[in-house]
Amino acid sequence: MDISTVNSLCYEDFVDTFGNVVERGPLMAAAVWSHRPFSNLSELEAHISDFIDKLPESGKEGILRCLPDLAGRDLQRGTLSRESQDEQSQAGDTGMASLSPAETTRMHQLNADYKKRFGFPFVICAKMSDKAGILRQLAERSGNDLSQERECAISEVKKICCLRLRNLVLSETRNKQ
Ligand code: 2AL
């Protein structure tokens, strides 16, 4: 859809459309609707980013806790959101479903250690990485302190949000084509 269609949506339709650009985050969409009309996709994205930045640390951690683990229980059970399913299956060439048994064990262990340390799941924009990069980042970022890591994880949420938005709204460049 183009930006004028976005601007014409009632809030119910807006929340239905954008309620998962931040995973399980309809509150974000419902809040950002107040800022219509948006002049372009970047402005919509900036309002979401701004909303997230203004949250207290507990709110940011709440956003992180709404993301499913990579290669975790939801992937195994087939209960990921459509967007997450798509991202986890497109990490690198083959996706998170194709981890070897040894990689799966390592991933589960690192994820569990990370969660124990920070109290939220390890989050990374899977489409911008691959299996090796994800495992490396997981090990490296586990060494961060809490505030550093919270900000790092939130910046990954914003990258995921940006890609999800681009799947829904034509960007300015594509509009001109
Ligand atoms: C995810 C997810 O579901 N999609 C993505 O790009 N990253 N989850 C996560 N824990 O990083």
pLDDT of residue 169: 95
d(CA 22, CA 60): 11
Question: Which of 3.40.50.2000, 3.20.190.10, 2.60.120.1060, 1.10.3330.10 is the CATH number of 63-165?
Answer: 1.10.3330.10
pLDDT of residue 93: 63
Q: Which CATH superfamily is domain 3-59+170-176 in?
A: Oxo-4-hydroxy-4-carboxy-5-ureidoimidazoline decarboxylase (1.10.3330.10)
pLDDT of residue 173: 57
Q: Which range is least confidently modeled, 35-44, 70-79, 115-124? A: 70-79
Q: What percent of the chain has pLDDT over 90?
A: 79
Q: Please, what is the average pLDDT of the chain? A: 92
Q: Is the pLDDT of residue 20 over 50?
A: yes
pLDDT in tens, 95-143: 777 788 888 898 899 999 999 999 999 999 999 998 889 999 999 999 9
pLDDT of residue 177: 40
Q: Which atom of ligand 1 is nearest to the CA of 128?
A: 6
Q: Does ligand 1 lie within 6 Å of residue 69's CB atom?
A: yes
Contacts for 17-22: CB closer than 8 Å, 24+ residues apart: 17/168, 18/165, 18/168, 20/81, 20/83, 20/164, 21/48, 21/161, 21/164, 21/165, 21/168, 22/48, 22/52, 22/63, 22/66, 22/157, 22/160, 22/161
Residue nearest to atom 11 of ligand 1 (CA): 123
Ligand 1 pocket test: pick from 20, 63, 64, 70 the residue with the most ligand atoms within 8 Å of its Cβ. Answer: 70
Q: Which atom of ligand 1 is nearest to the CA of 124?
A: 11
CATH 1.10.3330.10-classified regions of the chain: 3-59+170-176, 63-165
Tokens, residue 147? 């505030």
